[in-house]
Amino acid sequence: MTLYEAEDYENAIIYLDKALNCKQWFSDDINVACSLYRAECYIELGQFEDAKKTYQTILDKYNEKHYNKTEIEFLITLMDNFMLFNQGEY
């Protein structure tokens, strides 16, 4: 989180990935939080496809009691729109 707060997003992603790769019981709340921060890092870096994949992973991997499905679906749509905007599709 220190790297995220320091806006060192590339290194923050590395450590968030390490946290997500730890296999622990009852860590879904933490994993969803790490995934959300990871997606935010990708957004800050302009890597909208990676952010979208991260949000999709949340939907695919974790139980809905750990996140708001409507919000995650909105964020996926938002990433699609950011990608279109970057391609000049206004």
Rounded distance between C-alpha atoms, residue 17 and residue 35, angstroms: 8
pLDDT, tens digit, 9 for 90 and up, residues 53-72: 999 999 999 999 999 999 99
Which one, of 80, 66, 73, lies nearest residue 28 by Cα? 66
* Arithmetic mean of pLDDT, 2-20: 97
In this structure, how many other beta carbons lie within 10 angstroms of the beta carbon of residue 73? 13
pTM, full prediction:
0.92
Check: CB of residue 9 under 8 Å from CB of residue 44: yes
pLDDT, tens digit, 9 for 90 and up, residues 40-55: 999 999 999 999 999 9
Angle at 57 (CA atoms; ends 54, 63), nearest 5 degrees: 130
Check: CB of residue 42 under 8 Å from CB of residue 76: no
